[in-house]
Amino acid sequence: MRRQFEFAVVVIVVAVLAILAMQALQRTRGEVEEAGVQAEVASLRVQLMERLAHHATFGGALPTSENPVDWIRLAPNNYRGAHDQAPVERRIWYYNKAARELIYVFDDGHQARFRLSRTAGGSGVRGVIGGIGLLRLEDARQ
């Protein structure tokens, strides 16, 4: 009887530790996804700055679009285009035409939102040339 009790205690302890480990892994997964979004946005900002530097050096017209992906050469791999409504997929980028926002939908459903700003020069934001930059807005839940 005593061995059965000890075995039950060990099983409960192992189960609690497994649950705690799963929760920690889930948090880490979310943090890794956030880091990926930040890296992708850094790439987008570099491409925007390259476009603006080329414009400042050689002239020419800048795009009139509010979609930052129209300004750059390489869209994110999981970019689904411009939409009027949010796609149902997760872990994707899309441009919301109505809100004029570039949005990343995380696996848990919340959204990182970005807007191309033509008046970002006075905001003190890094990565802005000629007042044009990609600004992160407050995240949204779906």
pLDDT at 17: 93
Of 49, 63, 111, 102, which Cα lies nearest the Cα of 79? 102
Tell me which residue has tokens 């441009």. 95
pLDDT on residue 137: 92
Average pLDDT over residues 30-55: 92
- The CA-atom distances, in angstroms, between 34 and each of 21, 47, 110 are 20, 20, 11
Tell me, what's the pLDDT at 39? 95
Neighbours of 61 (CB within 10 A): 6
104-138 pLDDT tens trace:
999 999 999 999 988 766 556 666 666 788 989 99
What is the DSSP track for 25-83?
A: HHHHHHHHHHHHHHHHHHHHHHHHHHHHHHHHHH--PPP--S-GGGGSSS--TTEEEEE
pLDDT single digits (tens) 71-108: 999 999 899 999 999 899 999 999 999 999 999 999 99
Q: What average pLDDT does the chain have?
A: 89
pTM score, two decimals? 0.80
**Residue 124: its pLDDT value, please?**
60
pLDDT at position 119: 78
Which H or E run contains 113? strand 111-117
What confidence score (pLDDT) does residue 61 get? 86
| Mean per-residue pLDDT, 5-22 | 92
56, pLDDT greater than 90 = no
Residue count (the chain): 142
